[in-house]
Amino acid sequence: MLSLWRSLPSIVRAVIAGIAVTAAGTLPWVFFVRWNQRVIVGLPWAILPMTLYLWLYWRYLSGSGWPQTTAEARRRSLRANALSGDVWGMSLLAGVVGLAALLPLLGIMSRLVRLPEEAQSVSLPQQMPVFTVFLLLVMGSVVAGVVEEAGFRGYMQGPIERRHGPIVAILLSGTLFGAGHYTHHPASVVAMLPYYLAVAAVYGGLAYATNSILPSMVLHAGGDMFSLTRLWTTGQPEWQVSAKPPGLVWETGADAAFWGYVAAFVLLGAGAVWAYSALAGAVRAARA
């Protein structure tokens, strides 16, 4: 089996490993949270076993456990490398500016194509207390941040990046990242792909610039907490910029609102490019 695995192209191994790592972290949480909806629904008890599992999961991906012959490969693939305080600050700044640029991008997309009006709703028992729901959403966001960054930006993007460069790595991992969210909007996978590629560029760019998934992991968890809470409280998914879908430019023409989105995207996109360039410089200085 080992020889068969090594005979596969590196890009295929990276994709398989990334999907396996993501599934190994996501499926237990799905199991725990669904069980929590049936047993002792008043308490968010699913957080406790998932916290223990996530700790063991992280330690294993970081190189602990059997077999020790793969420990260094696991640690390198995860690339949860420590960063200096200056690099941390620049990383979070660059990531926030990049995420901010996604908002006008969604505004532009909503005027060019029909985005899905609904997403997979946060479906929980009515008798479950609000505080319990909120804590489960927070834990789900943490799980998504840790697991998806480990799988997509660590185990998948890293090896492809080292062999084929960051552009190919981000495009491929971003495409699969979007496909992984198929259940959120099964009828609009292609329409939503530019958005997920942009998200992958924000997180993947941070991982490439710093050789660490830690900043993107923090931003991913925070972004998911915001979007899940918004979906829970308003029923509006993260890509829905307004309660009522706007008219397409092909029908209404390019009005002031559309050009406002374009201008905001250009300005924030330029700011993100500058911030990522400054981040790369800070990383080079820290290494020197």
Parse the chain into domains and list their residue ranges. 2-287
Tell which residue, 49, 41, 171, has the closest CA to residue 57. Answer: 49
Q: What is the mean pLDDT of the chain?
A: 91
Q: Which residue has the higher pLDDT, 219 or 69?
A: 219
Q: What is the mean pLDDT of residues 97-126?
A: 83
pTM (predicted TM-score): 0.93
The predicted-structure confidence for 147-196, as pLDDT tens digits, reads as follows 999 999 999 999 999 999 999 999 999 999 988 877 666 667 788 899 99
Res 1 pLDDT > 90: no
- Rounded CA separation 134/107 (Å): 28
- Rounded CA separation 175/177 (Å): 5
Q: What is the pLDDT of residue 58?
A: 98
Burial of 6: CB neighbours in 10 Å, binned 0-12, 13-18, 19+ = exposed
CB 79 within 8 A of CB 154: yes
CB 171 within 8 A of CB 13: no
Place of tokens 């998806």: 148
**How large a percentage of the chain has pLDDT more than 90?**
72
